[in-house]
Amino acid sequence: MNTAGGDGSWRWRTYPLAVLGAVLASLILVVISSGGRDSLTGGLGGDFVEFYAAGEIVLDGDGTELHDLDRQVEAQAPHWDEPGSVILFAYPPAVAALYVPLALVDFRLAYLIHTLAMVAALAGALVLLRGLVPLLDDPRIRLAALAASITFLPMFFGVALGQNTALVLLGGVATWWGLHHRRDLIAGLALGLLVLKPQYGVPILGLVVLARRWGAVAVAVATTVGLWIISAIISGVGWTGPWIDLVRSLSEVDQGVNLHNEVSWLGLAEVAFGAGSGVALAIWVVLGGLTVAGLLWRLWQRPVLDHLTVALVIPTVLLVAPHALYYDAGLLLVSVGALVTTLDQRHRAPVLALWWLAGLGHIAASSLGVQPVALLVIATWGWAWVATRAADEEVRSRRPHRAAATG
C-alpha cells in the first residue's frame, strides 16, 4: 500500500478521524455547556435520566421500590423542569445495578462516561466483526466504518440519548463471534446478558436452541438465572411482579406518545388502526408469523451461521418485537455491512451512502406520524432474504460442475 497517499489511502484515515473528532468535540461542548439538564441542544442526557435515577434508587438501598412509579418520579425529579415528568425504567433490577457506579458521580460526568462507553461498545463490536463480515477484512475500511456507524442517525441517537443500543449490538455480535469460533462460554455469557432486553435476547436464544448449540444454551440459561438472583437480591424475590406491571404501563404510555417512533410490525399496524386495536394485533400476528417463517425457511435451506444469515436475523427480530424504536434500527449496521459484500465493488459505496441517508428519515417521523426508518428495516429484511437465496442457488449450481470435474 502506498502510504504516501498516491492511492488515496490517506483519505480513509483523515476523513473518518475528522468526523470522529467533530463528534467528540460536540459531545464535550454539550456537556460543558450544560447546567444540570440544560444544554446547547436542550435537555442533557435524554433517556439517560431513567438509567441514572435507577442507579440512584439502588444506591439509596431502595431496590424494592425500583419499579414503583412514584419512587421513579421522585428519583428523576431533580433532572426535569416539569414536575411529575418521568421516563419509566422497565428493565430488570440487574440492569439498574450496572448504573450504580455512575450514580456516584455528577449527572453530567455520568452522561459523558456513559456516552463514551457506548462508543467503545460500538467500536468493540466492529473489532469482533473482523473475520465475520468480509467488508471489514480491508483495514482501510475499519476507521471509516466506525465513523459511518456512529453518525448513522438511529445509532447516533441511541448513543446520544443515553440508550443502550450499542451495548445490545456488542452483545449480539459477541454471541455470534462465540458461536462462530466455538467459544460457547463467551457466546452463552453474551446471550445471557442480552436476555436483559427480552424482546431481542429471547428470540436469539430460541435460534441458538434450534441450532442445537447446547453448550451456549446452558451458559446462557445459567447466566440468566444468575441475573435473576442478582435482581432478587436488589429488589426481593417477588421483583418480577412489579416489573411486569411497569412493562405494561410502559407499553400503554408508548402507545400514546411513541407510536411514530416504532419500527416493528405491531407499531406500524397500531399507527394505521389505533393503539391497542385488535386489528393491529391480528396484523402483527400475521406479518410477524410470515417474517419468522421466512427466516426459518432460509435457515432450513442454509443451516450455516454466516454473515448473510445474521443479516437476515437482525431485521427479523426488529420486525417481530412487540416494542422496537427507531434507535434500535442501529442494529442494522451489521446487516448492511454483511449484505453490501454481495454487490459489485463499484456499487458498494453508492448503496452504503443511500442506506446511511435513509437513516435520516427519522427526522420526518413526527410530521408524518409514522417512522420512515421502519421502511429501512423492511427493505433490509427483503435484501437479506434475496441475498441468502441467491447465495444458496450459487452453491447448488456449482455442485454438478465439481462432480463432473472429479469424475
User: Residues 6 or more apart from 18 whose CB is under 8 A from it?
Assistant: none
Q: Which amino acid is at 138?
A: D
Question: Exposure of 69 by Cβ count < 10 A (0-12 exposed, 13-18 middle, 19+ buried)?
Answer: middle
pLDDT, position 4: 43
Give residue 403's pLDDT. 47
Q: Residue 301's pLDDT is what?
A: 86
Q: How many CA atoms are closer than 13 Å to the CA of 321, on its beta-carbon side?
A: 27
Residue 75, H or E segment: helix 69-76
Select from 211, 132, 173 the least CA-distant residue to 314.
173
pLDDT value at residue 202: 93
The pLDDT assigned to 71 comes to: 94
264 alpha-carbon distance from chain centroid: 13
Using DSSP's 3-state secondary structure scheme, residue 321 falls into coil
Which pLDDT value is given to residue 110? Answer: 93
> Domain extents for the chain?
258-395
Judged by DSSP in three states, 39 sits in: strand
Q: Name the 3-class secondary structure at 262.
A: strand
pLDDT of residue 128: 96
Residue 393 has a pLDDT of: 86
What pLDDT shows up at residue 281?
Answer: 94
Residuewise pLDDT in 10s, the chain (407 residues) = 344 445 567 788 888 889 889 988 888 887 777 665 554 444 677 889 999 999 999 999 999 999 999 999 999 998 887 888 888 999 999 999 999 999 999 998 999 999 999 999 999 999 999 999 998 988 888 899 999 999 999 999 999 999 999 999 999 999 999 999 999 999 999 999 999 899 999 999 999 999 899 999 999 999 999 999 999 999 999 999 999 998 888 777 666 677 889 999 999 999 999 888 899 999 999 999 999 999 999 999 887 889 999 999 999 999 999 989 999 999 999 999 999 999 998 999 999 999 999 999 999 998 999 999 999 999 999 999 999 999 888 877 776 554 444 44
